[in-house]
Amino acid sequence: MQHNVMFTILINCFYKGGQASFIKILTDNLDKKTFSSYDISGKEICNLEFKTKTFWNKIKRRYWLFTYFYRYCNRLKKLHISLVHLNPSLDWNGLLRNYFFLKIAYKYNVPTLLFFHGWKENVSKKILKNNYWKTFFSKRFIMADLIVVLANQFKKELIDIGIPRNKVIVLPTMTDTKEFIIKERSFKKPFKILYCGNMYYKKGVFELINAISLILKKEQEIKFYFMGEGPDLDRMKRMVKKLFINEHVIFLGFKLGKEKIKYFQKADLFAFPSYSEGCPLAVLEALSAGLPVVSTKVGGLAEILEDGENGFFINSVPPDPNEIADKITKLISDPNLIKKISKNNILKAKNNYDVKIITKKIENIYLKLINDSKDVKCQNKIMIGRFF
């Protein structure tokens, strides 16, 4: 039995993938002398995010959304909650949902941490250009005691919208680096290129498929692995068939745990030509595994990666297939460079994005927010309600 437990933290999460992985890593690694976890399952909502938007799925999603709000309110009312940790993305649905979560916590006088994981540039631009949306956003989300974003660019945008500078900090996401490290990489033919993420056109997946045809003109001993699922997966498969590159492309589906790690360890290079990003967990996992990264210079990626040191940037957005092909070809044709970058990436991940480092920072944030809150008292027990 645990003793000396002090606080109850309520954490919510709607999406599977990087965001859900972040919450799991966090709750598994919080100091157990101060924190323990209490899981209230809401996985049905996460699963429906990726399913076809049929009539019945919409009905189911609304039902589970209602039950989700009920669970949230019930825990705030019945448990002695010390802090609410919300995990939205900067999209319209996420903002609307989390405004209500924020408002309810504010009503119960519970301090809140708002941790933005995803960041849609079209949404932030619309808010910035429209005085009505700027006022609406700033007046409502100023209720949060602290807002965490994944890049300095996002912090600047929130300040421009009207959020006080002292309420916004920058903190990257994290990964368990020791899980991905392998003793030695061969970087030999056939080369294995990995993409891991949502199968959605704004992730640059179609440009990457077009780039494969260009790469195959110079190098035939190469395989491309697509890990994940999403709304454009079937269209991607049709495109691969149309381009007659089936032998060089493998769709792995959604993977978790050791099975996911296995493909990171077997790969030689990580391709991530996304249109916009926060601080994607998959890229940190690639660094941890010692994979050189070919990525667009967007969002938090511009701050995580250094061109030539951790891989190569794709400067065009949307990404140009010719540029993607050029960067990948340049790396796989230079064994010394790819080995040097691999060592750089392992060290960078371990020193900057490891779970122990980031979890400690989050623990310190929790304690500061709780101690700064006037109406929060120390408790004998902590439960972290994790909504998935």
CB-count exposure of residue 78 (10 Å: 0-12, 13-18, 19+):
exposed
Distance CA 225, CA 248 (A): 9
Dihedral angle sign, alpha carbons of residues 66, 10, 15, 158: positive
305 three-class SS: coil
Other C-beta atoms lying within 10 Å of the C-beta of residue 361: 14
Q: Are 295 and 273 in contact (CB under 8 A)?
A: yes
pLDDT score for 76: 84
> pLDDT digit of tens for each residue in the chain (388 aa)?
444 557 888 887 766 667 778 888 888 898 888 876 555 544 444 444 444 556 666 676 677 777 778 888 888 888 888 899 998 888 887 788 888 889 999 888 899 999 998 788 888 888 988 888 899 888 888 899 999 999 999 999 999 999 999 999 999 999 999 999 987 788 889 999 999 999 999 999 999 999 999 999 999 999 999 999 999 999 999 999 999 999 999 999 999 889 999 999 999 999 999 998 888 899 999 999 999 999 999 988 999 999 999 999 999 999 999 999 999 999 999 999 999 999 999 999 999 999 999 999 999 999 999 988 754 444 433 434 443 3
Q: Which residues on adjacent β-strands are paired with residue 148?
A: 115, 169
- Radius of gyration over alpha carbons of the chain, in Å? 22
pLDDT score for 73: 85
pLDDT score for 140: 87
pLDDT score for 50: 44
- The helix (run of H) or strand (run of E) holding residue 83 is strand 83-86
pLDDT score for 3: 47
pLDDT score for 49: 47
Q: Are 150 and 279 in contact (CB under 8 A)?
A: yes
The answer to whether domain 9-174+355-387 and domain 177-352 are alike in fold is yes
pLDDT score for 156: 93
Terminal CA-CA length for the chain: 26
Distance CA 88, CA 82 (A): 20
Distance CA 71, CA 91 (A): 23
Q: Are 215 and 325 in contact (CB under 8 A)?
A: yes
pLDDT score for 200: 94
Superfamily of domain covering 9-174+355-387: Glycogen Phosphorylase B; (3.40.50.2000)
Interhelix angle 205-215/233-242, rounded to 10 degrees, is 20
Alpha helices (H) along the chain: 18-29, 43-49, 55-78, 92-107, 121-129, 131-141, 152-161, 205-215, 233-242, 257-266, 281-288, 301-304, 321-332, 335-352, 355-372
Residue ranges per domain, the chain? 9-174+355-387, 177-352
* Architecture category of domain 177-352 in CATH: 3-Layer(aba) Sandwich (3.40)
- The helix (run of H) or strand (run of E) holding residue 39 is strand 37-40
pLDDT score for 55: 65
Dihedral angle sign, alpha carbons of residues 313, 315, 319, 321: negative
Q: Are 250 and 224 in contact (CB under 8 A)?
A: yes
* Closest C-alpha among 101, 99, 66 to residue 84: 101
